[in-house]
Structure 1
Amino acid sequence: MSGSREQILGRIRSNLTQAAGPLRETPEVLEKRTIAHERGIRPSRVDKDAAGLVDLFVQRAEKVNATVARIASIDDIPDALATYLANENLPAAFRMSDNPDLNAVPWDKRPALEITKGASDGKDEVGLSRAVGGVAETGTLILASGKESPTSLNFLPETHVVMVKRSEIEGTYEDGWDMVRAKGALSRAVNFITGPSRTGDIEQTIYLGAHGPRRLHILLVDDA
């Protein structure tokens, strides 16, 4: 075997040995990480007050092709949603999660809206979900799976509408996870959604809606 080849293989063996070392302590390492919730590098752009974080969230969300409607209160959601559906030439019908906050919306203000509840079977054009919160750093929504928030609503309808409150906008992903834990929202799946579904696999051209909704509309409710 040539000297250079033996040198390369020796380097690989050394690196594999170093990588395998900590694996012997995996249970302890994992337990420490679970308890400590170590923080990553905090980007300077999130060093803002609450209002600044909301503005950053909107800016980042719109940059990735989401649309945002700022709403004064949940009482204004029926009008805001009806207007959005009409502007997008969508039917005045949607399926929403059986969530207490969404159930508290005065939908009778817009009796023409057809509302069904529960998980989507893939035949719904529009889905309405309730987010746990949002991350200003990237304009990302946090949604936890469960009876009150079926994951199918996040991915099957071509148009996904999500309600989130101003007070639920955090700076970073770590802050978002803190909020999820504080709300007791840890579930089988926690989805971080940034903009509508997209792919660049087809001739390196961005195409929306390849693997999920091609529209993401955010109802940002002011509960300050």
Structure 2
Amino acid sequence: MSVKQTVAKSRAEIFGNIRRGLGRKGNSGEASAEQKQAVQNRLNAQADNLIPQRAQLPHDEQVELFKAMATEAVAELIELDNIALVPQACADWLKTRHIDQLISASSSEINSLDWSPLLNADVDRVERVAQAGDIASLTSSFAGIAETGTLMLHSGPDSPTTLNFLPDNHLVILRRSTIVGVYEEAWKKVRAAFGGTESGLTLPRTVNMITGPSRSADIEQKLQMGAHGPKTLVIFLIND
């Protein structure tokens, strides 16, 4: 038996033991609806940990806290009355910085917009994964967390994670209605959107928490922007 076959056999035995321990039958290891609901019930019954008082606010005050914390984290905040204004806001921001290409997620929210303002500004919008050397990207976000001014984004076929980290400038659409107070509430939103037995959706492979642009002061205690990701984070806050 080859080394590759031996490893495959060992892995199969390990997974088989795990399936038997979980009470699952068959080779697929797929949990039954009852088992999934049992997990959901256990999660719902779990009490929250100690939650900071500063984020336990009415929603309007949570939005104001998010704005203050995001700005303190050196994110650029642009408020818009509705999402239809995003293309013009993108065009204006990119044109003033002489950026002629925008790498974009291909979500239905983004594709439903009229992107003619980019053409008028001589900016090309391309839907693909981000690559080294890309200057600017555009994505939507799943939620905003007021406690620390943090964006929650998740990966998917129409929004690859590379868009969040490779380009120097990351432009993000955030709806006011999706802002929550604390991290616990954001994770509950993820489970409600993707983890329910009736949703037919699976949890995203990657969930990213982004607070301001990337930075580091490891070298001689001098703050360097863009150390591990974008140098600039722009949040288009939609007052929906």
Is the TM-score greater than 0.5? yes
Q: Distance in 2 between matches of 1:58 and 1:159?
A: 19
Question: Is the CA contact (8 Å cut-off) linking 1:143 and 1:149 kept in structure 2?
Answer: no
Report the counterpart of residue 198 of structure 1 in structure 2.
Answer: 215
Match of 1:73 among 55, 60, 82: 82
Following TM superposition, by how much is the alpha carbon of 1:34 offset from its aligned partner in structure 2, in angstroms?
Answer: 4.7
Task: State the match for 1:145 in structure 2.
Answer: 155
The one-letter amino acid paired with 1:118 is R
Aligned with residue 156 of structure 1, among 166, 181, 188: 166
- Tell me the equivalent position of 2:180: 170
- In the alignment, which residue of structure 1 is the partner of 2:227? 210
TM-score (norm 2): 0.75
Deviations 1:110-149 (A, max 9, x none): 4233100021122310010111111000000001111121
Partner SS, residue 60 of structure 1: helix
Which sections of structure 1, spanning at least 5 residues, go unmatched? 1-26
Query: Following the alignment from structure 1 to structure 2, what is the Cα–Cα distance between the partners of residues 183 and 164?
Result: 17
TM-score, structure 1 normalization: 0.80
Q: Which runs of 5+ in 2 are unaligned?
A: 1-21, 23-38, 195-201
What residue in structure 2 maps to residue 8 of structure 1? none
Selected match of 2:103 from 75, 95, 101: 95
Q: 2: CA distance between counterparts of 1:187 and 1:37?
A: 22
Whether the 8 Å CA contact 1:165–1:222 is kept in 2: the answer is: yes
Contact 2:91–2:117 (CA under 8 A) maintained in structure 1: no
Residue of structure 2 equivalent to 1:219: 236
2:80 partner letter = I
Match of 1:44 in 2: 53
Q: Is the Cα–Cα contact under 8 Å of residues 90 and 118 in structure 2 kept in the other structure?
A: no
- Number of aligned residues: 193
Partner SS for 1:83: helix
RMSD: 1.8
Q: Percent identity?
A: 37
1:118 aligns with 2:135: no
Helix, strand or coil at the partner of 1:82: helix
